[in-house]
Every structure is written in C-alpha cells, then in structure tokens.
Chain A
Amino acid sequence: MSTAVLPSNPSRANPRWRLSPGWVGAVLLAVIALPCFLTLPWSLSRYDEQRSDQVEMIHAAPSWSEPMGTDGLGRSLLWRSLLGGAISLTIGISAALIAVIIGVTWGAASGYIGGKTDATMMRAVDVLYGLPYILLVVMVSLALQPAIEHLTGPVLGFSETVAGNVSGILTLLLAIGGVSWLTMSRVIRGQVLSLRSQPFIEATKAVGMSPVRVFRLHLLPNLIGVIVVYATLAVPLAILQESFLSFLGIGVRLPLPSWGNLASMGVKELPALTSPDLPMRWWLLVFPCTLLGLTLMALNFLGDALRDRFDPKRTPR
C-alpha cells in the first residue's frame, strides 16, 4: 500500500501527450481566451448595439443568429461575453503580473537582506495586510484615479469616451494588482527565510557571491514552484475579485461588459428558481457564469501542471 506514497513521480513514466489536466487547462484556456482577444476589433464596435425598439430582440433566447441570446436591451450576449472575456482576462493577467513582480521582489529582498530592512519591509506589508481587502482596493483606486485620468486623457490623447473606459479598467487592474501582492511577498519571504538558513546559501555567502546572482541562481529556482502556484492562482483570483467588485458596483463600469458584470446581471434571474411557473432567462446566467467558471478552472489546471514542470526537485530531466 505504500507505493502510493513513494516519492517516485508517476507522471514521469507517462508519455508527454497524455491527456493530463494541464493540457486540458491549456486547451480550454486557448479555446476561450483566443476568440475573446481575436474578435476584439468587432466586439468593441458591437457590444453596445441596442435593439430595445425591436420587441422580439429583447430577452431573445439563444438561436442561430444570436447563439447566446440577448439581454433586456436587445444587446447580443455573444459580443458582450467576448469583449467581457477580453476585459476580464486582461485585468486578471495584468493584475497577477503586477502582483508577482512586486511580491517576489519585495518578499525576496526582505527575506534575504534580513535584519532591520526585513522588519521594516514586513511592517509595510503588515500595514496593508491588516486592512480589509475592499478598503484597500477602494483606497488604491481613489488614490490612482486622478493620475490615471490625466494619463489617459491629456497625456495619451484618447478621446473622452475611450479615456473614461480605459482609465476605469486601468485603475481597476492596478488596484487589484497593487493589493494582491501581499500574500505573495509574505510566502516568498517565508521561503527565503528558511532557504537562507540552509547550508548551500550560507556557502554562497562564504564564496562572496553578489546577492543578485544568489537570487537568480540559487533562490529563484527554489522559489519557482511557489511563485508559479501563486501566480496561477493570482490570475483567476484577480478575475474573481473583479467580478466581486462588479457585484458591489465598483468594478468595470457599465455599459462596458466584464464577465463579472454579466454574471451579476445574470444572478438577478435566479429568483425565478424559487417559483416553478416563472420563465427563466437562463442564458443570461449560464453563459457568463460558465465562461467565468471554466476559465478559472482552466487557469488552475494549467498552474498545477506548470508547477510540476518547474519544480526544481521534480524536473524529469
């Protein structure tokens, strides 16, 4: 019975092309994400196409011409979902990237340098950590908003409408990213702290290696597993947080769609559940929620697989 626990890596024995969750995740992600981004030129112009004057287009059920149905204003859910997906994914990936960069730098520096610097840097994290998440996001976005509006408006010279939308999304992803790096930095610091007391790092010090080299050659390979785990979790987390903020009405600003916005519109259909006689406009709920859920799962599967590949102690080669 002990075979199951043996450290031997079962996946190593398997051929590469085996149907693993990682591949499923990657394919799924590609299938969802690629159309979202590739159709951007069209979805941008069509997401807000209202047909409220055509009664048959209001809350139309899915059909050949409208594969995902329409909403209460006759807008095509397909186009809205595609653009919403692009927006949600952009927010998720950018926020995660920001979180990883800040978090790893901060955590590794803090853990490696140690002493007073470590204490100060960690206090700063503690400060932010202690505050409620929402408070932080709102604070960050409040603080950034004027600067970003200035950037998108006068500096980059977007037209007023575009600038408004871009600055909204930019603020949101910076706020989410600027808040999500805390966990990352604490975990990285913890790892570095325990790595630092291990003989091989002590040895690098004795050799007189520069800290940057030590970080790149010895710390990073040991940290990559943790980083990847957290980063892959950070993407879906950021997407989820965007949807959460959308529920609260402080996410992506309507009428611009995001999966969170669309899902929160869909949730309003749920009361129909409690009464059997009520026609339920299921497509409003099912499509955005499924897309959101599938993407989150795909990202997680992918992250899991990446971890197996990048983990220094388990690389098959």
Chain B
Amino acid sequence: MENRFGFKDFVLMVLLVAILASIWIAMKQFDRQHETLRTVAEEVKQQAAAQARLERLLAQIDSKIEEGGFAIGAGQGRMPMLEGFVDPKELPDPFEELVRIKAEDDYADGDWVVDAFSVNVAKITPFISRDFYGAVVQSYVVESQAGRDPHNVQWSPQLARTWKIQDNLGDWQAHVDARMAVPLTEEEVLAEAGYEAAEKDEDRAAYLAKRLEEGRLLDDVVSEEDCPPALVVTFNLRRGVTFSDGEPLTANDVVFTYDLVMNPEIDSPIYRNEYGLKFKSVEAIDDFTVAFSFKKPFFDAFQEAAAFSVLPKHFYGPLTPEQIERINSLPGLLMGSGPYKVSYGPEDWVPGKEIVLERNERYWGEPSPAARLVFKEITSDVARLTAFRNGDIDLFYRAVPEQYIEYLKDEELVARSQSVEAFRPNDGYGWIAWNQLKNGGPTPFADKRVRQAMTMLINRQQIIDVALKGYGLIPSGPFNQQSPQYNHEIEPLPYDVEAAKTLLAEAGYIDRDGDGVVESSDGKPLKFKHTIPSSGNFWHEVAPLIKDSLAEAGVLMEIDPLEWSVFSEKVRSSDFDAISMAWGANIETDIHHAFHSSNIGNGANNFPAYANPEIDKLIEKARVTLDEEERMAIWHQVHAILNEDQPYTFLYVRKFLTFGDSRFQNFHPTRMGVSDRSVWYVPSGLQKY
C-alpha cells in the first residue's frame, strides 16, 4: 500500500513535467535569438553589398560627367523611345503629400501603426492569397506600374515613369472581320480542346454539331497567334528601383510576374482566368520598357495593366516544380519593391503570427514616416473595441455601424481619437435578387411590375436606419453614387405601399378570398422564400423588416437562412425565389457578370436569370468604348434601364467608418475613405513605440 502511486507522487510528477516543459521552451527561445542574430548578420551583408553597388554607380556617373557625355537638361527629345508617351512632367508626383508633410514643423519620423484584422489571414503571398486582408498587407510591400491618387482618384505613376496607350482598333477590327468571315471547318473543330476532352463518341459528335452551328467565335479569333492586339499599353519604368533585398527591378521582373501567374501549376486560377481573357501578351521591349497587349478592347485595360503587381524574378523564380510547390504552399512568400517589407523575412511569416511590416530602408521613393506597420488578428468584436480603448491597437478600420455608434457614445474615447466617415466610390452594394426562372418555368418575379412592387414595398430607409444605424444610402442601380458611372437623374423607386398594390393588381395579384393575402388569377397566393446567409447578424436583422413590410400588401415571405456552403450551392443552381448578398465594386465597375444574359445558367452570376437584349447590347458597347465621356453616357443609360427593370432591389450602400488614435497627424478624409497609413506621422513628443 505504501509504494502505490499516491496523491503526493501525482503532484511530484506534475512538477517534473512542468520543469521539463520550461527547459524545452527555454531552448526554443535561445534558438529564436540565434535566428535573429543570423538574419541581422545577413542583413548587414546585404547592406554592404548594396552600398558597394551604389558606390560603383556613383563612380560611373562621375566618369561620365568628366567625359562630358551627360548632357544635363537635354529633355526627352533625345530619347526616341519616349515618343507617344505622356510627358512625365504632366503626371502627378506620387510623393507630393509625403514631401509636404515632411516640411511641417511637428513632423517626426518613426512610431508604429498597429491595426487589427477581424479575421485570420491565411496567406499573404501575392496572387496566391485570395483574402482581402492579404491584399491590404501586400499593398505596402508590392508595387505596380501606377496607382490611384486617393485625393482625386487619378492615376499617378509608381514604378512607371510614364506610359502610352496605343489604340490599334483599326487593324484589329479588319483582321477580326476577315477571320470571322471564314466559315469554321470540321478539321478545326476536331483539333479543339473541347472535342478532345469529350470522352464518349456521342459526346464528341454532339460537340462537333454544336460548334459547327455556333461558327467561329470572337474569343477564339482574338486568341489566335497572328491576330494583332486591339490595344497596347506601354510603360516606361523608373531607373534605380530596387527590391527590398537590393536587386534592381527591370522589365524582366514584370514579364516574369506575368509568366508566374499564367503558369498552370501556380495556384492562382482566378487571376489566370481573368488575365487569360484579356491579356494577349506582356513583353519587355528593353530593360525598362514593358508592353501589355490586349486581345480585345476593354474599357478597364489601362487599370488592369497599371495595377499589375511586380514581383522579383530572382526571388520567386525560376519556376521549377519545387519552386512552384513552395510558392503554392508557403503562406508568407512576400517580397517587393514597396515602402515596407515583412520584418520576419520575405518567406518566414506564418498564419497566427501578427503581421509586422518594417520600413524598407532601400526604398527608391520617399520613405514613409511610420517605422512599422503591425497587423494583429482580433476575431472577437468586443475584444477589438476593448483593445482600441486600451490603446493596444491604434486603428479601427472599416468599423461596422454598431461599433461606430458605441465609439461615438464614449466621450472619453472620442476625445483621444479621430474618425472619418465617407462614402467611397469603390464600395459595393447589398441587394435582393428576384429569381425569374425556377425549375424551368417563370416565377411571379418574371413580371417587371411585381419586381417594381417588391422594391416599392420594401422600406429601404428603415433598413438603413435599423441595420446600418443610418450609415448608408439607397442606390437606384448597381453603381456607386460617388462613381461617375452613377446616373444622378435616376431617383430610387419610392417606398409607396399603395402604388405597389396597384402594380400588383395590374399584374393580377389581388386578394381574392379576403384573407389578407394576394392571390394570382388561379388562386395561388403570392408567397416566396427569401434566402439569406445564416452567418452574421446583418441579414437576420434585415430580413424580418422586409417580411413585415411585404405583409402590409399581402405578400407572404418566409425567411430561409442557410449556411454558406449550402447557400452558395443554391445560388449556383438558381434554386431560390429571392436571395440576398452584396457585390463589391470598383471606381468603375463592370456589371457584365451579373446582368448580361450570357451569364445565365452554369453557375454564372446572373442567377436570377435577368435577360434584356437592350441591356446586353449597351453593356457590350460600354465595355469596348474607350472614350470615358462616351462610355459614362452608356452606363447612365444602363442605369436607367436597370432601375426600370428592377432585376434586383438595390438595398443599400454602406458608409465607410473608421477611427484611429489621435496621435497620428495627417489623418484626414480622402475620396478613397481615409488618408493612407503610409502618410501619417506622429510628432516626436507623442510617439508611442
């Protein structure tokens, strides 16, 4: 009995385990310090190398000047390559704001900006990462040819010094017309991938018949080798730009990045598909000139080319199978030429660790004030607000209205912070889509009057007041009020129960048996399910409001909350009556995916099966119209028709709400919301980190 495992032994064992565990942890810690030391040594070596290069360069310039080969102020005329390019002097200076704030009396370098994401970021590797927050981090590390100036939304040069846009539409149209006139032969179809892919003989035969009837497709013609590009956007890159490890950035890196994205083994199908539809090629003309050719004219061609991120070839390449595996699977493979770099090293971040960016001391442009940008992950809303209140985080970016209201009510907190509220041109909108085609037959919503009545029955102002606490606008179409696409002559349909009832009656929906519910002529009550995502609170708050307002006119609505994966299956198979979600937007948004009739069925985005030949034509025309003024006029027409047709009820556009610590100077509203954290500074007395 004495030598049995007793209570005391148990305690002893626990102690022993605890001691062993702490020793192990201590060893890990020493390892970590060693690692830090090693990276520091590596860094010093790199810096030495960079300095050496710089000295070499200086020496060369010196010798050039002595030889007299350097004509100062010679102008662009001497460089024939620049013909047709926009004069760089006419383009805005991307660092104008930084230069201005650095001249302020209280300007000081340093301090950190600590932000917190509300979700866990899975990856920050460019093109592989698909979450929004990954893109936020990348925007400080990776640069593209040009970016939008947040103040006037115009393009300002980044990596590019200047650019030119060549319109080749004449040649292109001639070639396309000629090719389209040639009838499609059987041999050509037999060589197509779709024919090869069909396994059974009857499938192959069906494919052949189908293709022969369709004839030659525009998409096939423009993809042919000898088809001239419709548009060419050429960028002249800056000299002296280096990546954060000191290697120079050249046109080869741009081409490499394109090759990387288009490599079928790389896990970036979304980019690959989009680029594959648009880009014909990306070619380096010389070390500092790169040309993006387009298969078809696209209104947003310049945007696609300008915003194309550039990755270092020496770091991501060569694309061997092992390297591709690394790119696909490492979560934090991130290096670029931007003002910041990942402080753990360009490949060492792993999910769960907070993302720390430190200033890239080799940055070619004007350095940003903040020494570090920290992105924490705080998944609980309460904890995030508390962390802000405690000063653990400095920024509450894109707060939801409830949080913002809470913030505003706390006077002490408001006193030591600053906030921005703004409607941004690139914010999306929430909607209800009315399915017009279900199980092969038309639904009540196939009647335009019913859809209009639905919109007029829904009190959108109430929805905004209740669910968005008033921080929202009622849109009358799929465009943002702040974007030039929006047609301000179109007023949203009013909330008008009587008018709606009249419309319903016109469409044949009248309360025939006096039970308070409207019925169609064959006695079927107007009753439908409103499918919403079950996660989150927002739609649970909105849907009952809609249910209530519809009941006033005798329309029965049932709320059908579904888990996201089931929800998206219903969306893809158009198996719903009415469904709610939100679309994202851009400064200029292409709505082809949601409203063009070619995107009906096959899981494409026109899932309510809205078809209007006029809209189809207008959208197609707008997409190929390069002249902005002309194009906006077409979008305005589109807007008017969509407001009339009401394929969706356009519910709300959210207001952008953000608050941050008051120690940051130059925290002010811009067209894009709030000035970027890369231009905030903290006077030396107020610095925290």
Contacts and interface: CB of A to CB of B under 8 A. Distances in A.
A253 B406 contact: no
B568 interface: no
A278 B406 contact: yes
Contact of B540 (A164, A254, A274): A254
Contacts of B462: 52
Nearest to A261: B540
A255 B561 CA distance: 9
B35 interface: no
A161 interface: yes
Contacts of A53: 548
Contacts of B389: 274-275
B544 A73 contact: yes
B545 interface: yes
A255 B540 CA distance: 8
Interface string B515-553: 000000000000000000011010011001101100000
A31 interface: no
A278 B559 contact: no
B466 A52 contact: yes
A249 B544 contact: no
Contact of B545 (A73, A164, A250, A275): A73
B411 A277 contact: yes
Contacts of B537: 268
A275 B544 contact: no
Contact of B534 (A58, A164, A249, A270): A249
A50 interface: yes
Contacts of B466: 52, 58, 72
Contact of B559 (A58, A250, A255, A275): A255
Contacts of A278: 406, 409-410
Contacts of A128: none
Interface string B542-574: 001101100000000011110100000000000
Contacts of B381: 271
A209 interface: no
A161 B530 CA distance: 13
B382 A72 contact: no
A253 B545 contact: no
B541 A72 contact: yes
Interface string B372-413: 000000000110011001000000000000110010011101
Contacts, number: 59
Interface in A155-197: 160-161, 164
Nearest to B560: A164
A272 interface: yes
Interface residues of B, number: 28
A274 B413 CA distance: 11
Interface in B249-297: none
Contacts of A161: 558
Nearest to B564: A249
Given A52-B462, A73-B544, A254-B540, A272 B406 contact: yes
A274 B382 contact: yes
Contacts of A58: 466
B261 to A, nearest CB: 36
A250 B533 CA distance: 12
Interface size class of A (residues with CB under 8 A): 20 to 34
Contacts of A164: 558, 560
Contacts of B559: 254-255
A249 B535 contact: yes
Q: Tell me whether chain A's interface is mostly helix, strand or loop, or mixed.
A: loop
Contacts of B563: 249-250
Contact of B548 (A52, A250, A253): A52
B534 A271 contact: no
Contacts of B544: 50, 52, 73, 255
B535 A271 contact: no
Nearest to A48: B544
Contacts of A268: 402, 537
Interface string A49-80: 01011000010000000000000110000000
Contacts of B402: 268
Nearest to B541: A72
Nearest to A50: B548
Nearest to B558: A161
Contacts of B548: 50, 52-53, 73
Interface string B483-522: 0000000000000000000000000000000000000000
Interface in A259-288: 268, 270-272, 274-275, 277-278
A39 to B, nearest CB: 22
Nearest to A265: B537
Contacts of A50: 544-545, 547-548
Nearest to B380: A271
A270 B403 CA distance: 12
A304 B103 CA distance: 76
Interface centre among A50, A53, A274, A278 (most CB of B within 10 A): A274
Contact of A271 (B406, B413, B540): B406
Contacts of B540: 254-255
A253 B385 contact: no
A72 to B, nearest CB: 7
A277 B541 contact: no
Contacts of B561: 253-254
A161 B403 CA distance: 35
Given A52-B466, A249-B535, A255-B559, A277 B410 contact: yes
A275 B409 contact: yes
A253 B331 CA distance: 36
Contacts of B545: 50, 52, 73
A53 B495 CA distance: 14
A189 B389 CA distance: 53
B555 to A, nearest CB: 15
Residue of A50, A253, A254 with most chain B CB atoms under a 10 A cut-off: A254
Contact of A277 (B409, B535, B558, B560): B409
Given A52-B466, A270-B382, 6 more contacts: A50-B545, A52-B462, A72-B466, A250-B534, A271-B403, A275-B406
8 nearest A-B residue pairs (beta carbon):
A275-B410, A271-B382, A50-B548, A249-B534, A73-B544, A277-B409, A278-B409, A274-B386
24 contacts: A50-B544, A52-B462, A52-B466, A52-B544, A52-B545, A164-B558, A164-B560, A249-B534, A250-B534, A253-B534, A254-B561, A255-B544, A268-B402, A270-B382, A271-B381, A271-B385, A271-B406, A272-B406, A274-B385, A274-B386, A274-B389, A275-B389, A275-B406, A277-B409
Interface of B: 381-382, 385-386, 389, 402-403, 406, 409-411, 413, 462, 466, 534-535, 537, 540-541, 544-545, 547-548, 558-561, 563
Interface of A: 50, 52-53, 58, 72-73, 160-161, 164, 249-250, 253-255, 268, 270-272, 274-275, 277-278
